[in-house]
DNA sequence: ATGAAAGCGCTAACAA
DNA sequence: TTGTTAGCGCTTTCAT
């Protein structure tokens, strides 16, 4: 192991000088800076993370808590996790991966062990047990998703209410009069993860505003659930010509079933999906969709949490504006 | 922050005693152990990770390197990552998440900074640049996947050759004579990630052995790719009655297309999937499949790497035995 | 612009 | 069975 002391000797300076060259916390003459940098490269020096953390009281690590049970669409979670990791590296930080399995005690453990300077939580529930701990330990933290009471917390999420409104508006603009919202599994609603309810609320509001008659149904992830949900919807409301789908896993099954049952998309029924762009593009027909900006959510969470850890104030609520991309799955409603 | 010294004072013992109570590295009288443990709980003490790493030269962290570009089915990656994390906790270790974006230099950085005691690599290519670094730094490491030359490395993977053979055998047993293997996208083969080639090799071998006539086609992930691949296959070999699919993303599209084109599963064509169980169970019909044991791969990788980090020798090659579960998508071949 | 030196909180000899 | 103590490698005051 190469130590800072060895670098100092090699460069003919004192240890503190090397330290300051690395941290940039005081001005160094061009000359010594260069010598030190050359020594660092030559010896292949990397600061010892533990020693640094001990002396400076900052670990340069962000903890990321991912859900065990997977309400969220897994590829979205993964994209967020990767965005968090690559963004963190831009701040010279690393990411510690935690699962919600360990429960609220993980918060205490991380906060007290100095393992991480900040936390990002990905599976926030409306009434999350960990939130009081976060507040009380004063940990720099960002939540991806919204709890019931975000006061004093830093949260990032897609504006799902606006998403619901956007989808309703698009269908109304196209002249549809009867529509349905197909959401995630019922268990997701019961667990109060929030995003599904918020989409529903926005959709309901705008549907009302625009005089749309609408139905809402949760839907499981498999083929059977999808075809069951679909047939029940059309049985109950044969006049439905517009579908909004917030369930990536069910999407291919839903589309297959639609095709199977002789309903052409978009001629007979228009589909608006709430999903990542690549899912929309890999479907047939390519789906008109509101994209879930996973990458941006991860990036923003890191930026916010870095600001907090540096002692700067951070915005309380960052709601990303949804964008609807019109593709081939939505068309004019009944003439 | 509560320190070990405070705990010692509170319990009326010396710091080293507290340390030894925690590490279990020397015997402690029942009495003092209890007193110390009570103090720890009462004060809410957690050892400072950095200090511990500095003094002991062990960070209690495992680095997990995940691929950026996603050849592997994302939910499988995620399941492995989660299994690694939860298993690591059982060994009192945490997991540091790295992406392959940082490149081979990440290996050096981690090895030299003492950030992690061991590494698990998930996106191993046949000729992986990082392998020489691993060898040369002597880092305790486990690879998930097989490189071209695994000599001296610790690797964990599903036995994909056996998987290919198993699928071929199942179709042959059912009396099928003409079959096709639908694999991942061509780019995956070109990148030489290995698993696809190995399945193909096993399948080819056993198909030969059993007198099966067979075709192999890569297939993109979307609906268009799936239906194109499928129609080209049946155009070229109308007599095909058995399909092996190693492409989770294309699976729903493939099944939809089969239904669409009037081929009943399993009456007209049998389908054997290589995929996680939940994908097989969420399809219609439920798929006969060889399951990808993501969880077990993650667990094993951690166990192996922990053995290595402790200085014990570890097996060089751990190939998990594939298991085929017969469900509803495979039936008798042409009579 | 640079150096000297005192810790940061813990582990692991060495002693008893 | 327990205590004493010398570092681990780095940051950061305090000097110069």
Identify the pLDDT of residue B68: 86
pTM for the model: 0.95
- Of B48, B54, B64, nearest to A48 by CB-CB distance is B54
- pLDDT of A127 reads 87
Q: What are phi and psi of B324, to 5 degrees?
A: -100, 130
Six token digits for residue A327: 């593709």
Residue A10's pLDDT is 97
Show the tokens assigned to B330: 């495979």
User: Where among B274, B293, B312 does a domain terminate?
Assistant: B293
Tens of pLDDT, residue by residue over A71-81, are 789 999 999 99
Residues B76 and A90: their CA atoms lie apart, in Å, by 27
Please name which of B134, B114, B124, B120 lies closest in space to residue B81, comparing C-alpha atoms: B120
Look at residue B190 in the predicted model and tell me its pLDDT.
87
Instruction: Mark which of A35, A56, A77 sits at the end of a domain.
Output: A56
Q: How many domains does chain A have?
A: 3
Q: What is the pLDDT of residue B222?
A: 92
Q: Which residues of B touch A42 (CB under 8 A)?
A: none
The confidence score (pLDDT) of residue B10 equals 97
Length reported for chain B: 335
Please check whether residue A48 lies inside any domain of the structure: yes
- Phi then psi dihedrals of residue A43, to 5 deg: -85, -10
pLDDT tens, position by position, B293-325: 999 999 999 999 999 999 999 989 999 999 999
Q: Which of A89, A99, A222 sits opposite B86 (nearest CB)?
A: A99
Q: Across the interface, do B53 and A52 touch by the CB < 8 Å criterion?
A: no
**Residue A330: inside a domain, yes or no?**
no
Query: Is residue B165 domain-shared with residue B287, that is, in the same domain?
Result: yes
Distance CA B117, CA A288 (A): 47
- CB distance A283–B249 less than 8 Å? no
A23 touches strand D (CB under 7 A): yes
User: What percent of chain A has a predicted confidence (pLDDT) above 90?
Assistant: 91
pLDDT band at A95 (very low <50, low <70, confident <90, very high): very high
By C-alpha distance, which of A127, A74, A76, A122 is closest to A97?
Answer: A122
Task: Supply the pLDDT for residue B233.
Answer: 98
Residues A111 and A177 in one domain: no
Residue-wise pLDDT tens for chain B (335 aa)? 999 999 999 999 999 999 999 999 999 999 999 999 999 999 999 999 999 999 999 999 999 999 987 778 999 999 999 999 999 999 999 999 999 999 999 999 999 999 999 999 998 888 889 999 999 898 999 999 999 899 999 999 999 999 999 999 999 999 999 999 999 999 988 887 789 999 999 999 999 999 999 999 999 999 999 999 999 999 999 999 999 999 999 999 999 999 999 999 999 999 999 999 999 999 999 999 999 999 999 999 999 999 999 999 998 999 999 999 999 999 999 97
Judgement on whether residues A252 and A299 belong to the same structural domain of the protein: no
- State mean pLDDT over A94-99: 98
Residues B147 and B27 in one domain: no
Which pLDDT value is given to residue A123? 81
A101 part of contact set with chain B, CB < 8 Å: yes
* pLDDT digit string, tens, across residues A185-240: 999 888 877 899 999 999 999 999 999 999 999 999 999 999 999 999 999 999 99
Burial B121-134, CB ≥16 within 10 A → b, else e = bbbbbeebebbebb
Residues A164 and A289 in one domain: yes
pLDDT at B227: 96
Q: How many CA atoms lie within 13 A of B36 on its CB side?
A: 23
| Domain carrying residue A199 | 160-293
Q: Determine, yes or no, domain membership for A146.
A: yes
**Separation of alpha carbons A105 and B233, rounded Å:** 55
> Which CATH number fits the domain that encloses residue B16?
1.10.260.40
With CB atoms and an 8 Å threshold, state whether B96 touches A94: yes
Inside any domain, residue B258: yes
Percentage, residues of chain A above pLDDT 70: 100
Flag whether pLDDT at A105 surpasses 90. yes
B44 and B65 housed in the same domain = no
Whether A1 and B114 lie within 8 Å, measured CB to CB: yes
Residues B178, B272: one domain? yes
Q: Does nucleic acid strand D have an atom less than 7 angstroms from the CB of B34?
A: no
Taking the stretch 52-91 of protein chain A, residues with Cβ within 7 Å of any atom in nucleic acid chain D are: 52, 54-57
pLDDT value of position A193: 75
CB contacts under 8 A, B 191-210 vs A, are: none
Nearest to B294 by CA among B192, B161, B158, B187: B158
A256: contact with B, CB 8 A cutoff: yes
Contacts of B25 by beta carbon, 8 Å cutoff, 6+ apart: none
User: Are A32 and A70 found together in one domain?
Assistant: no
Question: Domain for residue A335, yes or no?
Answer: no
Inform me whether the C-beta atom of residue A222 falls under 8 Å from chain B C-beta atoms: yes
The answer to the question of residue A22 being in a domain is yes
Q: HSE of A329 in the Cβ direction (CA atoms, 13 Å)?
A: 28
In this structure, the answer to whether residues B99 and B69 fall within a common structural domain is yes
Report if residue A107 sits inside a domain.
Answer: yes
**Which residues, in sequence order, are CB contacts of A164 under 8 Å at separation 6+?**
A181, A198, A199, A200, A201, A202, A203, A204, A205, A206, A244
Residue A331 located in a structural domain: no
Terminal-residue alpha carbon distance, chain A: 75
Same domain, yes or no: A181 and A245: yes
Beta-bridge partners for A96 = A63, B96
A101 and A149 fall within a common domain: yes
Q: What is the pLDDT of residue B335?
A: 78
- Convert the pLDDT of each residue in A115-159 to its tens digit: 999 999 998 888 889 999 999 898 999 999 999 889 999 999 999
Contact A47 B113 (CB under 8 A): yes
CATH of the domain at A150: 3.40.50.2300
CA distances from residue B122 to A275, B67, B275, B297, B331 in whole angstroms, order as listed? 27, 7, 17, 10, 36
Per-residue pLDDT, B193: 74
Strands (E), A195-315: 213-217, 242-245, 270-274, 288-290
Q: How many residues does chain A have?
A: 335
Question: Which 43-72 residues of chain B touch chain A by CB within 8 A?
Answer: 44-54, 59, 61, 64, 66, 68, 70
Q: Please choose, from the candidates B262, B206, B258, the residue with its C-alpha nearest in 3D space to the C-alpha of residue B227.
A: B258
Q: Which residues contact A24 (CB under 8 A, 6 or more apart)?
A: none
Is A99 at the interface with chain B, CB within 8 A? yes
**Phi/psi of residue A165, each to 5°?**
-65, -40
For residues A164 and A246, state if they share a domain: yes
Contacts of B301 (CB under 8 A, 6+ apart): B80, B84, B120, B142, B144, B156
Q: What is the pLDDT of residue B71?
A: 74
């Amino acid at each position: 192991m190469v130590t800072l002391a060895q670098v100092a000797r090699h460069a003919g300076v004192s240890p503190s000088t090397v330290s300051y060259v690395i941290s940039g916390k005081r001005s160094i003459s061009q000359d010594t800076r260069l010598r030190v940098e050359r020594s660092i490269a030559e010896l292949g020096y990397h600061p010892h993370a533990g020693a640094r953390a001990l002396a400076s009281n900052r670990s340069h690590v962000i903890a990321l808590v991912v859900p065990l049970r997977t309400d969220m669409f897994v590829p979205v979670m993964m994209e967020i996790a990767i965005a968090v990791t690559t963004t963190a590296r831009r701040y010279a930080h690393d990411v510690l991966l935690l699962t919600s399995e360990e429960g609220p005690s993980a918060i205490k453990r991380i906060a007290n062990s100095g393992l991480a300077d900040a936390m990002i939580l990905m599976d926030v529930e409306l009434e999350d047990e960990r939130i009081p701990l976060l507040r009380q330990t004063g940990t720099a933290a960002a939540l991806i998703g919204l709890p019931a009471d975000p006061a004093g917390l830093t949260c990032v999420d897609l504006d799902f209410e606006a998403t619901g409104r956007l989808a309703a508006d698009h269908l109304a603009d196209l002249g549809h009069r009867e529509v349905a919202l197909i959401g995630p599994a019922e268990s997701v609603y019961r667990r109060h993860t929030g995003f599904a309810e918020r989409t529903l609320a926005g959709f309901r509001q705008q549907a009302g505003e625009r005089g749309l008659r609408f139905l809402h149904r949760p839907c499981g992830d498999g083929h059977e659930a999808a075809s069951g949900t679909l047939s029940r919807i059309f049985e109950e409301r044969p006049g439905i010509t517009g579908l909004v789908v917030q369930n990536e896993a069910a999407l291919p099954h839903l589309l297959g079933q639609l095709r199977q049952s002789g309903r052409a998309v978009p001629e007979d029924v228009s589909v608006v999906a709430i999903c990542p762009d690549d899912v929309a593009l890999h479907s047939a027909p390519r789906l008109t969709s509101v994209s879930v900006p996973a990458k941006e959510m991860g990036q923003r969470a890191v930026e916010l949490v870095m600001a907090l850890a540096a002692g700067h104030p951070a915005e309380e609520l960052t709601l990303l504006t949804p964008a609807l991309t019109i593709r081939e799955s939505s068309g004019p409603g009944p003439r």
